Amino acid sequence: MRERLEDRDLERTLSDIGGRLEGPRRDMWPAVRARIDERRARPWWSRLSIDARTLAPVAATLAIILVAAFLLTPDLAARAAQVLGLPGVQIYRVPESPTGRPTTSALTFAGQRVATAAEASRIAGFTVRTPAALGDPSALYVETAPVRVTIVYASVKGIPASPQAGVSAIVVEFKGTLETQFMAKAIGPGTSLDAVPLGSGVAYYLSGQPHQFFFRDPAGNVQPETLRLAGNTLLWEEGGVTYRLEAQVSQQEAVRIASTLR
């Protein structure tokens, strides 16, 4: 087209085009009514006009923000722990549980190995107590950054060795001060969580699939627990210290063991 279009010609041409644009060749209503009926037959939630492709990134982003907020914000962590009633512990629901797999380092525990609870107490700065029902510990380990005591019971009569940790029971103790540390526990659909009475307080019993732990070190960094995965676990708090008992025992037995803390 060699000539230049004047404004008037351009507008006239555009209007001309509008009059010649294709439209539907038949009544559209029967097809629309069929689509309405089809959509009505669906469950109500699938009638929402939100495309799954649109929703998926939004949901994923929200999940990341929530987890990050919980893991990285001490205030939120503190509030969540208060709601749970157990200082230093957070429990998250996750879509699936991590796979428990024994590793060569399953029996390797971090920290300084000590012989007695008294020695562990001296290093840790709080009174380390042991459940009498488990007998004498096989080993005690004290970590100082953050402060954490791990008491290992290699073989206890009536308690099978954990396929993950390779020992009968583990008791972990630490000061439940959220400013210095906290841990999160990931629980999936194969795990159940029960609040059970213990003495004058409440304990939390997690059973089913193995769990994975996350810790926050004193610098505020989140540290995943990668060396071992726990089996059934009882979490409780007494006198500002949080206790974690990991053993393949029933809820009732776990509570009984916990009640023998000396």
Decide if residue 50 touches other proteins (CB under 8 A).
no
Question: Cβ closer to other proteins: 29 or 95?
Answer: 29
Min dist CB 12 to other proteins, Å, is 8
Q: Residue 248's CB: how many other CB atoms inside 10 A?
A: 18
Question: Cβ closer to other proteins: 46 or 99?
Answer: 46
Min dist CB 5 to other proteins, Å, is 6
> From CA 54, how far away is CA 48, in angstroms rounded?
12
Question: Cβ closer to other proteins: 24 or 95?
Answer: 24
Site for other proteins, residues 12 to 31, rule: CB under 8 A: 13-29, 31
Decide if residue 51 touches other proteins (CB under 8 A).
yes
Radius of gyration of the chain (CA): 30
Q: 23 Cβ partners below 8 Å, 6+ apart? A: none
Question: Cβ closer to other proteins: 23 or 158?
Answer: 23
Decide if residue 10 touches other proteins (CB under 8 A).
yes
Q: Residue 179: enclosing H or E segment and its boundaries?
A: none
Burial class (CB in 10 A: 0-12, 13-18, 19+), 29: exposed
Min dist CB 56 to other proteins, Å, is 14
| The two structure tokens encoding residue 55 | 């929703």
Kindly state the DSSP code that residue 161 receives in the 8-state scheme. Answer: P
SS3 183: strand
Min dist CB 43 to other proteins, Å, is 14
**Interface residues with other proteins (CB under 8 A)?**
1-5, 9-11, 13-29, 31-33, 35-36, 39, 47, 49, 51
